[in-house]
Structure 1
Amino acid sequence: MKQLYIKQKVFSFGGKFTVKNQQEQDVYFVEGSFMQIPKTFSIMNAARDEVALITKKVFSFLPTFFVEVDGRDVLTIKKEFSFFKARYTIDAAGITVHGNWWDMDFEVLQHGEVVGKVSKEWFTWGDSYKVEIVDEEMEKMMIALVVAIDCVKADQATASSAATH
């Protein structure tokens, strides 16, 4: 089982950060667009080839994020209409998420089989998300999913902050 780490609270739409392995080596590079429409995050491998792209849908009533891996659409994260608490759904062929994905503590299953797990790590390079890859073919999708969920959370925090002012 492969383990990768993403440092918490580094996400912003103009941000750049890396995904590290257990030896603290950079494995993926993530770059967010800044003052660009649509807002995007590009995930690149060590050779700086783009392996995944997250895009926020521009004109939609409720926020929607599209995730591509290797040029193929693999999942969509959509905000659902609700009056009390923000609710989101993850749509992906054969992919389900079990657990509390809003607090980054969940398992990812493909056709009922666990392909990866995400949890908070408290004692590595400051607080980090630990991404455990069970099926290495799903590694890029797992990294893209974690970055996309954090994009959604950052977008929600920005919207909540704007609504209170």
Structure 2
Amino acid sequence: MKTFLVKQKFRLGGERFDIKDDRGVVNYQVEGSFFQIPKTFTIYDAYGEQVSEISKEFFTLLPRFNIQLRDGSNFVIRKKLTFWRDKYEFDDLGLRIEGNIWDLNFKLLDDRDQLVAEIRKEIFHLTSTYTVTVYEDSYADLVISLCVAIDYVEMLESQSN
């Protein structure tokens, strides 16, 4: 089991922030592109090795991200058009999501209903801060990538309101 604390610092330009574990050790570093279309995020591990690349599709009505992991697997996050509550669809993820994705308070379960990870947004912070607990270490890269993409959409939409 691993626990990470994510404090995102999205700006209009290039983004760069660290993701630390519960002991304060940097486990991941996220770099966002600067004035690049499509917008991309690259996530590196503590050794500087690329973990994943997240790219936002440009010509879509609703936000859509392609995530390519270092093991060659990839999946897509698509925001669905709904009237009451924001919903997302995940293609080729292999996991089920329970909870409130928009508020970053949800759980990831595998096909056997085993808990893989929990994501909880912390309140009373000036920046977007959340705790990610990954129970199955092999899913850590995927879960961190998923959280970065969803939180970026949240930041964009909060700026437009």
Q: Which residue of 1 aligns with 2:32?
A: 32
For the residues of structure 1 that align with 2:128 and 2:66, how far apart are their CA atoms?
Answer: 27
For the residues of structure 2 that align with 1:81 and 1:139, how far apart are their CA atoms?
Answer: 29
For the residues of structure 2 that align with 1:104 and 1:91, how far apart are their CA atoms?
Answer: 19
Over the aligned positions, Cα root-mean-square deviation in angstroms equals 2.4
- AA matched with 1:110: D
Which SS does the other structure have where 1:108 is aligned?
strand
Bigger CA drift: 149-158 or 20-29?
149-158
Q: Which residue of 2 aligns with 1:100?
A: 100
Task: Considering fraction of residues, name the structure with more helix.
Answer: 1
User: How many residue pairs were aligned?
Assistant: 159
Bigger CA drift: 67-76 or 94-103?
67-76
- AA matched with 2:117: G
CA deviations 1:102-159 (Å, max 9, x no partner) are 11111111212211111134589x873111110000010011011011122123234x
Q: Which residue of 2 aligns with 1:148?
A: 149
Is the Cα–Cα contact under 8 Å of residues 54 and 148 in structure 1 kept in the other structure?
yes
- Given the superposition, is the C-alpha separation of residues 74 and 97 from structure 1 closer, same or farther in structure 2, using an over 3 Å criterion? farther
CA deviations 1:54-82 (Å, max 9, x no partner) are 10012223221111111534321112233
TM-score, reference length from structure 1: 0.84
Is the Cα–Cα contact under 8 Å of residues 86 and 102 in structure 2 kept in the other structure?
no
For the residues of structure 2 that align with 1:41 and 1:95, how far apart are their CA atoms?
Answer: 22
1:133-144 paired onto structure 2 within 5 Å: 133-144=134-145
- AA matched with 1:11: F
For the residues of structure 1 that align with 2:14 and 2:65, how far apart are their CA atoms?
Answer: 16
- AA matched with 1:156: E
Where structure 1 has 5 or more consecutive residues not aligned to the other structure, the ranges are none
For the residues of structure 1 that align with 2:25 and 2:124, how far apart are their CA atoms?
Answer: 17
Q: Percent identity?
A: 35
Q: Which residue of 1 aligns with 2:79?
A: 79
Where structure 2 has 5 or more consecutive residues not aligned to the other structure, the ranges are none
TM-score, reference length from structure 2: 0.86
- Per the TM alignment, residue 94 of structure 1 is displaced from its structure 2 partner at its CA by 1.9
